[in-house]
């Protein structure tokens, strides 16, 4: 009995690793001025920060750990001399009563970096909230403008657990022009990674693949998709558990749908369990930049996507 309890505790611990540790654990190197504000809780001079009057589309990240903090749609001009936001990405910002007993400090939930202070009751926006943030505590990641792919290329979207490993294998396939990890299949517009992990958005971690039909085809890529993960695992892949890690093919046309269904029948005939969903493709939202080409950037290898020939 004791052994069973220990195994259960270990399993629960492993399951929690993915979403807790995907954020950077190695923090960015800070300048002395950045340390003064971010570490020692200083304040930059008003009207001097680069993001004070900056209103481009994108996401604001933590300067120290790159965790997403604020969406550009929540930024407004308060005239106070510092960037102002009337909302935060859910769970991204921690509120701490200041030692002066009057103000409330805001810090990055992921790494504790000092951001500034939050104020309420000023009437600037409908939320009646103003996050007064130091520009120096932020990094801006512009929104990606998705251009239509050339008519000579085709597109496929696959979900098979953590999108890092899926992208790693697919981008090495012959005929693949580009890959991009992101979120799709859910109900939330422009979700963040934290929202997909913790907010029941219904989105799957997925990979959008652009390929050259003259060099490969959808069936070849779909076979690879089935061979780099276990399609018999429901709402999980290896130690990663949750519906965002489900196995799913998002088809763009009837040919892709029929091809996927035929491959599923073939696998079942071979004795494989398959719970892969087959769904019409809808909006695809690119993931944060630090998720793109993850294993190429880190020089490491997938931990739960191992190729196994099945066809």
Angle at which helices 218-227 and 163-170 cross, to 10°:
130
10 Å Cβ neighbour count for 139?
17
| Catalytic hit among 65, 108, 111, 132 | 132
If you search the block for the tokens 């239509």, which residue do you land on? 148
CB 130 within 8 Å of CB 113? no
Phi-psi region of 221 (alpha: psi -120 to 50; beta: other; left: phi over 0): alpha
Which of 62, 65, 108, 162 is flagged as catalytic? 162
Angle at which helix 254-269 crosses helix 218-227, to 10 degrees, equals: 40
Q: Name residue 59's beta-bridge partners.
A: 71, 141
CA distance 160 to 192: 19
- Residue 132 appears among annotated catalytic residues: yes
User: Is 162 in the active site?
Assistant: yes
Active site residues: 132, 162
């Amino acid at each position: 009995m004791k052994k069973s309890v220990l195994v259960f505790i270990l399993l629960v611990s492993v399951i929690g690793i993915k979403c807790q540790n995907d954020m950077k654990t190695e923090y960015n190197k800070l300048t002395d001025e950045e340390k003064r504000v971010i570490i020692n809780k200083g304040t930059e001079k008003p009207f001097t920060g680069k993001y004070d009057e900056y209103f481009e589309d994108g996401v604001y990240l933590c300067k120290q750990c790159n965790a997403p903090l604020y969406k550009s749609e929540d930024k407004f001009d308060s005239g106070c001399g510092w960037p102002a936001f009337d909302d935060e990405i859910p769970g991204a910002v921690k509120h701490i009563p200041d030692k002066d007993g009057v103000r409330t400090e805001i810090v990055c939930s992921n790494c504790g970096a000092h951001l500034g202070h939050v104020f309420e009751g000023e009437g600037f926006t409908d939320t009646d909230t103003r996050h007064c943030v130091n520009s120096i505590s932020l990094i801006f990641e512009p929104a990606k403008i998705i251009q239509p792919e050339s008519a000579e290329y085709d597109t496929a979207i696959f979900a098979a657990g953590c999108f890092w490993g899926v992208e790693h294998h697919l981008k090495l396939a012959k005929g693949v022009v580009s890959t991009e990890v992101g979120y799709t299949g859910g109900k939330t517009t422009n979700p963040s990674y934290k929202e997909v992990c913790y907010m029941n958005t219904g989105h799957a971690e997925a990979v959008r693949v652009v390929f050259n039909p003259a060099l490969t085809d959808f069936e070849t890529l779909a076979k690879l998709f089935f061979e780099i993960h276990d399609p018999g695992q429901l709402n999980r892949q290896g130690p990663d558990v949750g519906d965002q890690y489900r196995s799913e093919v998002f088809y763009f046309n009837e040919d892709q749908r029929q091809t996927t269904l035929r491959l599923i029948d073939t696998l079942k005939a071979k004795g494989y369990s398959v719970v892969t969903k087959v769904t019409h493709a809808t909006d695809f939202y690119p993931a944060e930049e630090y998720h793109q080409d993850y294993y190429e950037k880190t020089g490491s290898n997938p931990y739960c996507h191992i190729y196994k020939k099945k066809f």
